[in-house]
């Protein structure tokens, strides 16, 4: 394979990976919200149609918003916090579900608006996992008391 062919296939691979990097998160987002809407619609739609006497387009979306607001309201009071703490302990007792739930919760918490403390302040390079090897990370705190020595940080 000559240099121009290698360059061509490198460009094709790079373009393909960029396209996948755009489509995969978009597809996962659409899939997630479609599954959420279908789940809520499957539960509430029969009751709402029977109660209202007809089908109203978009009612499942409004129902989802109302349910999210009600859960948020419930999580703000004492009994709701107790219930959700119990639910978190229940989820933490299920092996595979614990990993997925924990990762999603950490990801959502990292970008949460109004969270206690600052979320990602800047991007840094950390010498990790061994000397001479570096990885990038998001700095969320300026001090960490659990480390015995301070890692070398460089702004990127």
**Is the same domain home to 124 and 51?**
no
User: 148 to each of 5, 124, 142, how far by Cα in Å?
Assistant: 51, 19, 15
**Is the same domain home to 97 and 143?**
no
**Is the same domain home to 17 and 74?**
yes
**Is the same domain home to 31 and 66?**
yes
**Is the same domain home to 97 and 126?**
no
Q: How far apart are CA 66 and CA 50, in angstroms?
A: 19
Q: How many domains in the chain?
A: 2
**Is the same domain home to 125 and 87?**
no
**Is the same domain home to 77 and 152?**
no
pTM of the model: 0.48
Mean pLDDT, range 134-149, rounded to an integer: 66
pLDDT digits (tens, 9 = 90+) for 36-90: 777 777 777 778 788 888 877 777 778 778 888 888 888 888 888 888 888 888 8
The pLDDT value recorded for residue 146 is 52
**Is the same domain home to 18 and 52?**
yes
**Is the same domain home to 111 and 125?**
no
β-pairing, 122-127 with 153-155? Answer: antiparallel
The answer to whether 139 touches 119, Cβ cutoff 8 Å, is no
**Is the same domain home to 107 and 131?**
no
Q: How far apart are CA 42 and CA 65, in angstroms?
A: 15
**Is the same domain home to 111 and 127?**
no
For 57, the token pair is: 């387009």
The pLDDT value recorded for residue 156 is 43
- Domain range for 64: 3-117
The answer to whether 74 touches 83, Cβ cutoff 8 Å, is yes
**Is the same domain home to 97 and 128?**
no
């Amino acid at each position: 394979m000559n240099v121009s062919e290698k360059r061509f296939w490198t460009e094709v691979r790079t373009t393909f990976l960029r396209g996948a990097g755009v489509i995969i998160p978009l597809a996962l987002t659409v899939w997630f919200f479609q599954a959420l809407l279908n789940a809520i619609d499957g539960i509430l739609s029969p009751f709402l149609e029977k109660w209202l006497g007809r089908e109203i387009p978009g009612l499942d979306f409004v129902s989802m918003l109302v349910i999210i607001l009600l859960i948020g309201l419930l999580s703000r009071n004492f009994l709701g916090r107790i219930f959700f703490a119990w639910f978190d302990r229940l989820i933490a007792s299920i092996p595979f579900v614990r990993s997925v739930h924990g990762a999603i919760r950490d990801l959502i918490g990292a970008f949460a608006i109004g969270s206690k403390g600052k979320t990602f302040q800047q991007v840094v390079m950390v010498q990790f996992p061994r000397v001479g090897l570096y990885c990038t990370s998001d700095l969320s705190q300026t001090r960490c008391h659990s480390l015995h020595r301070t890692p070398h940080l460089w702004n990127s």
